[in-house]
Structure 1
Amino acid sequence: MIRRFPGGHPGRSAAVVHDGRVFAVVTAPEKEPSLLAQTRGALRALDTRLEAAGSHRSLVLSATVYITDMSQKAEMNQAWLEWVDMENPPQRACLGVALEGEDLVEITVVAALREG
């Protein structure tokens, strides 16, 4: 069975659950001008989506972080290290890309569901 959680954009789900895994993509709800602020906002949004889908940051298996300016990767890393469960760190990749509008960061994750 596939469960889809409504997203804020037409044609997009906030999260999808299938076969014991949660798939989610987030951007920062508030388009602050700094990559650090947007990354923190996106990670807060990710917490909310994971919780709604029955998961948690400690259950993230892999993450791909897309940022618009690789020269600012240290800012993204700062926010990531504040957020990530250091006892259960996921696999993570970071790529420099062009994003839409005022987005400076986009994060996609695959996480396990909580047991029980």
Structure 2
Amino acid sequence: MPGIPRVHGRRAGRNSVTGYNGTGRAVATIRMKTDDINDQTIASLSRIDENLAGMGRDRTGILNATIYIADIAMRGEMDGAWTAWIGGDPAHWPQPAWLQSGLARHLIEITVIAAV
């Protein structure tokens, strides 16, 4: 479908951000040689920032976030990084949801929907 803005991903067949009808959808997964959920969360959130910037937007426009986590027991550890990143202004807080997922090589994957 023509006219859909896309920011190409780092691998073939994938986009980092896709926009349509006033919204953009972004994803971040980081390959890291660490089992530290905090480090992976910070790196993934940084990638979300990069991906949204590719659409001319920033995290204040995020409407919804889905956070896939390898072990839901780690949510408390990653939540500190999330809270620091999203900031203290409730006007910019998205609606997040955490889901446990059988991620193969990552502890976390984050997808967001943002107004663009």
Offset at residue 29 of structure 1 (A):
4.4
Aligned-residue CA RMSD (Å) = 1.2
Provide the rounded CA distance (Å) in 2 between the counterparts of 1:37 and 1:108.
17
- 1:93 counterpart = 2:97: yes
The Cα shift of 1:32 comes to 2.3
Match of residue 108 from structure 2: 105
Cα distance in 2 for partners of 1:47, 1:71 equals 26
Q: Choose which of 11, 35, 38 in structure 1 pairs with 2:37.
A: 35
Q: Does 1:66 align with 2:71?
A: no
Distance in 2 separating the partners of 1:94 and 1:2: 28
Question: Take 1:11 and 1:23, find their aligned partners in 2: how far apart are those partners?
Answer: 16
Partner of 1:33, secondary structure, is: coil
- What's the CA shift for 1:86? 2.9
Indicate if the aligned counterparts of 1:15 and 1:49 stay in contact, CA closer than 8 A.
yes
Residues 67 and 28 of structure 1, relative CA distance in 2, 3 Å threshold: same
Which stretches of structure 1, 4 residues or more, deviate above 6 A after TM superposition?
Answer: none
Question: What amino acid does structure 1 have at the position aligned with 2:15?
Answer: S
Count of aligned residue pairs for this structure pair:
112
TM-score normalised by L of structure 1: 0.90
Aligned amino acid, residue 40 of structure 2: Q
Q: Which amino acid aligns with 1:108?
A: T
Q: Which letter does structure 1 place at the counterpart of 2:36?
A: S
Cα distance per residue 1:30-87 (max 9 Å; x no partner): 3422111000000001001111111110100000000001111111101100100332
State the percentage of identical aligned residues: 36
Unaligned runs of 5+ residues in structure 1 are none
What is the correspondence of 1:3-42 to structure 2 with a 5 Å cutoff?
A: 3-42=5-44
Q: Return the TM-score normalized by structure 2.
A: 0.90
- Provide the C-alpha distance between the structure 2 equivalents of 1:20 and 1:31, rounded to a whole number of angstroms: 36
Q: What is the distance in 1 between the residues matched to 2:52 and 2:88? A: 17
